[in-house]
Amino acid sequence: MDRRTVLKGLAGAGGLALTGLSAPAIAQGAAARTLRFVPQANLANFDPIWGTQYVVRNAAALVWDTLYGVDAKLQPQRQMVESEETSDDGKIWTFKLRSGLKFHDGEPVLSKDVVASLSRWAARDPMGLMILAIQQELTAVDDRTFKWVLKQPFPKMLYALAKNNAPCSFIMPERIAKTDPFKQITDYVGSGPMKFVKSEWVPGAKSVFEKFADYVPRQEKASWLAGGKQILVDRVEWLVMPDPATAAAALQNGEVDWWENPIADLVPVLKSNKNISVDIGDPLGNVGSFRMNHLFAPFNDVRARRAVLMALSQEDYMRAIVGDDDALWKPLPGFFTPDTPLYTEMGGEILKGKRDLDAAKKLLAESGYSGQPVTCLVAQDQPITKAQGDVTADLLKKLGMNVDFIATDWGTVGSRRAQKTPPGQGGWNMFHSWHAGADCITPAAYTAIRANGDKAWFGWPNSPNTEKEIAAWFDATTLEEEKAAIGRVNKAALDDVVYAPTGFFLTYTAWRKNVSGITKGPLPFFWGVSKTA
Amino acid sequence: MLSYILRRIVATLPVMAIVALFVFSLLYIAPGDPAVVIAGDQASPEDVERIRQSLGLDRPFLIQFGSWVWRILHGDLGTSIFTNLPVSTLIGQRLGPTLSLMMVTLLLTIVVAVPLGVVAAWKAGSLIDRAIMGFAVFGFSLPVFVVGYMLAYIFALELEWLPVQGYTPLAQGFWPWLENLILPAIALGCVYIALVARITRAAMLEVLQQDYIRTARAKGLGQGGILFIHALKNAAVPIVTVIGIGIALLIGGAVVTESVFAIPGLGRLTIDAILRRDYPVIQGIVLLFSFVYVLVNLMIDVTYTLVDPRIRY
């Protein structure tokens, strides 16, 4: 008898005396049928259209299905759709749903549900908005057929419906999908492979998903968001653990089965445990970045922006984020995700080779910089932004710039970066962020690469050349045309320094060895994952 | 006494209102925007503005505050900006774990600290006294999270006696409930055990020097009777005070403890709400904490009359 049993016995006896309650006997199989997962962040709300946090998207992928799903080759594949037709002029898309699709409340999935869902999604999604801009009508033809009529062709339609960037075009029942896209839904009925157990939801602590018995998976092998989504456990519990050391200890102790994003510092400890597997989680990784405000001096002058690019060492940034693990980072002389079909380094010379501080200083002087403070916003509560901010402060000082380092929290950076006032009056010159590599494969969902001035992301870059080439990519119909266009986008965006890429980095995921079927992907996929006791 | 208690309870209302106004104002003027967090990093400024409007965050301060007060007067703590769930539901979900943690910690503190303080006073100047006070200094100096990690490492990871994290409601069994609370309660209780032990020792030392104790000894009363019947009762007022204040302080300590041991309590809810600027939740929690604080003070006052009949209200 070990000490724990003794303690248990003692406490149990006391407990029985006090309460008359006893510990429930947990069947051996029950543990194996419940997968306990530590997500990257709180599931603080659950509307994947209203809010676009990655954690919401990841949970939503269990509950709501999509018409198409992107596979591991980044190709859109049919998911809820049985077939689609395009008119000869490319303006009319007619889709037919698979038969037998059901929502979690037992109701069939109908075209009217799809129409309402796509309408709500399109109002919030960058690609959806592009479709809306050329939409003539979106209508249900019959229960299983719907039609999207456009004023001009949109070759990237299937990619828009399949993409995994938030917000994804999840299909909800019409009554839910009719909710104002800027208001949150409260009913979480989907047709995905798992049901959300609202009664057990403790926002910020625990979310529970149960297998949906009536889900009809496709016959193909699962591949990311495409193919047959076979759920092999009865229940998935998401347990939020804000403290990484606690999550690591819980994984080592077998109290949780899978930790989505272990921090780099704790990976060696996990790797040394014979019961734990550690591997790269998302092969599409992340693109580190800082943005300079194009509206105000000194970075309204492209020479000042180029000077910073000439001087920055991506290795310094990446080591600050991932430490000494060389498997976790790559230099990135451009903006697009490495190892994806459209990856390019065209025009990336300014980020390659030995850093030339003297030349950078000279260029900065030519820009007219005369020592005014550079307001640098750094969110200290986000390890990735903090690490990058520290490196940038050092870089700017080496360049002879006067750094006004604003150490604050992410919520404050988020609101202050929207200020278009001058830096001395509540505005800013720089802030740090990063982008999921899944968002940086093409310009489709790549908000950060857009350079259309006032309409662009924070920093408001205005680069007509970049915009022209992005438009060329949208119009491209072959892979070769796409590659050529993306090369030109990369060059134009680097020439005008739309933003500063600080490198490409990966993160790990870790799981107990009694769990199998975990695949690498841009989000945690639970289909095909099983567990033994 | 009853009218006194009623007066004190009524007096809590303006206190809570002032605290809530203060917190509301601080949050309002603090930088940060929940709409930005909700919208996600890739959202456009227009998206953020639309969300802000839909949440009513674009409205003037007085209207936002007035609307909140109006709801409170109608018994509605409001709705969380993020979860769209009633604040009362969110607080209700988190109350059990925090109360359990506080209760076990308090019990542990009283059971361990008071006897330690009594023994230290009894053996004042001895090795036992120095050992107990040394332990008190140690317990008082170590931050909760350091003790928490040490305990988790030793008792959960190395010895595998207790779980690292989580909380199980009492309804699912006494042991599952208790085993999740032992390590957090020890971590959280260290500071309070040290504090209460020191106060108990000081109060007891003072009482043990009184004439009536000498008289009791002269009459041949046993050491146990002197310590626990005569001395401890007369030393109880400062001990009760520090235990009472400790309850209020436990709320603060629970924030860190709940994070270290992944307990889904009010502490974590508070931190999450503050980081996300979830105003209705923060206001609801502040109201609750204010009420608890006032209530604890009231209970301390009432307890005085029980331990010292000379005190009257």
* pLDDT at A28 (0 to 100): 45
Residues B116-126 pLDDT 10s: 999 999 899 99
Residues A126-151 pLDDT 10s: 899 999 999 999 999 999 999 999 99
Q: How many domains does chain B have?
A: 2
* pLDDT at A514 (0 to 100): 96
Same domain membership, residue A302 and residue A185: no
- Nearest beta carbon to residue B31 from set A2, A24, A416: A416
Residue B81 domain-assigned?
A: no
Give the residue, B42 or A172, on which the prediction is more confident.
A172
Angle between helices B236-260 and B182-208 (to 10 degrees): 160
Average pLDDT over residues A330-346: 96
Same domain membership, residue B104 and residue B56: no
Same domain membership, residue A181 and residue A75: yes
Average pLDDT over residues A31-48: 89
Residue A260 domain-assigned?
A: no
Same domain membership, residue A525 and residue A385: no
Q: CA B127, B133, B137, B140 torsion: positive or negative?
A: positive
Residue A199 sits at the chain B interface (C-beta within 8 Å):
no
Contacts of B278 (CB under 8 A, 6+ apart): B34, B80, B81, B82, B272
- Nearest beta carbon to residue A253 from set B157, B178, B277: B157
Rounded Cα–Cα distance for residues B121 and B116 (Å)? 9
Residue A23 domain-assigned?
A: no
Residue B200 domain-assigned?
A: yes
- The minimum CA-CA distance between B269 and chain A, rounded to whole Å, is 7
Give the residue among B264, B242, B269 at the shortest CA–CA distance from B101: B264
For chain A positions 319-378, those within 8 Å of chain B (CB to CB) are none
Rounded Cα–Cα distance for residues B77 and B69 (Å)? 9
For chain A positions 490-509, those within 8 Å of chain B (CB to CB) are none
Rounded Cα–Cα distance for residues A48 and A61 (Å)? 9
CB pairs under 8 A between A and B: 181
pLDDT in 10s for each residue of chain B, 313 residues? 778 878 877 887 788 788 878 877 887 787 777 887 777 666 677 778 888 888 888 888 888 888 888 888 888 888 898 888 999 999 999 999 999 999 999 999 999 999 999 999 989 999 999 999 999 998 888 999 999 999 999 999 999 999 999 999 999 999 999 999 999 999 999 989 999 999 999 999 998 888 888 888 888 888 888 887 778 888 888 888 888 888 877 877 888 899 899 999 999 998 888 888 888 898 889 888 888 888 888 888 888 877 777 776 6
Query: Where residue A229 falls among pLDDT bands split at 50, 70, 90?
Result: very high
B160:A8 CB<8 A:
no
Can you give the residue range of the structural domain that contains A389? 283-507
* pLDDT at A297 (0 to 100): 95
Rounded Cα–Cα distance for residues A342 and A189 (Å)? 37
Domain boundary, last residue among B74, B99, B123: B74
- Nearest beta carbon to residue A439 from set B42, B264, B269: B42
Query: Which residues of chain A neighbour B260 with C-beta distances below 8 Å?
Result: 243, 245-246
Cis peptide leading into A298, omega within 30 of 0? yes
Can you give the residue range of the structural domain that contains B260? 88-307
B174:A180 CB<8 A:
no
Q: How many domains does chain A have?
A: 2
Write down the mean pLDDT value for chain A.
92
Paired strand residues for A202: A206
Same domain membership, residue B184 and residue B118: yes
Contact status, residue A139 vs residue A146, Cβ threshold 8 Å = yes
Residue A242 sits at the chain B interface (C-beta within 8 Å):
yes
Residue A124 sits at the chain B interface (C-beta within 8 Å):
yes
Query: Which residues of chain A neighbour B272 with C-beta distances below 8 Å?
Result: 42, 44, 204
Residue A250 sits at the chain B interface (C-beta within 8 Å):
yes
C-alpha torsion B41→B45→B46→B49, nearest 10: 90
Same domain membership, residue B97 and residue B48: no
Average pLDDT over residues A315-326: 93
Residues A416-445 pLDDT 10s: 888 899 998 989 999 999 999 999 999 988
Same domain membership, residue B113 and residue B69: no
Residue A274 domain-assigned?
A: no
Same domain membership, residue A379 and residue A314: yes
Q: What is the DSSP string of A425-458?
A: GT--SEEEEEEEGGGGSSGGG-GGG--BGGGSST
pLDDT above 90: residue A165? no
Residue A334 domain-assigned?
A: yes
Query: Which residues of chain B neighbour A432 with C-beta distances below 8 Å?
Result: none
Same domain membership, residue A326 and residue A187: no
Same domain membership, residue A67 and residue A86: yes
B264:A52 CB<8 A:
no
- Nearest beta carbon to residue A204 from set B51, B171, B269: B269
What is the side-by-side order of every strand in the sheet holding A276-280?
A: A194-196, A206-211, A235-239, A34-38, A258-259, A508-512, A276-280
Contacts of A368 (CB under 8 A, 6+ apart): A297, A298, A301
Residue B276 domain-assigned?
A: yes
Residue A193 domain-assigned?
A: yes
Nearest residue of chain B to residue A45 (CA atoms): B83
Same domain membership, residue A455 and residue A336: yes
Query: Which residues of chain A neighbour B31 with C-beta distances below 8 Å?
Result: 408, 411-412, 415-416
* pLDDT at B75 (0 to 100): 84
Query: Where residue A5 falls among pLDDT bands split at 50, 70, 90?
Result: very low
Residues B181-204 pLDDT 10s: 999 999 999 989 999 999 999 999
CATH code for the domain of B287 = 1.10.3720.10
Rounded Cα–Cα distance for residues A390 and B190 (Å)? 36
B36:A414 CB<8 A:
yes
A433:B41 CB<8 A:
yes
Q: Assign residue A271 a region (left: φ > 0; alpha: ψ between -120 and 50; beta: otherwise).
A: alpha
Same domain membership, residue B265 and residue B191: yes
- The minimum CA-CA distance between A447 and chain B, rounded to whole Å, is 6
Same domain membership, residue B97 and residue B69: no
- The minimum CA-CA distance between A485 and chain B, rounded to whole Å, is 23
Same domain membership, residue A462 and residue A441: yes
Instruction: For chain A, give percent helix, strand, coil, nearest 5.
Output: 35, 20, 45
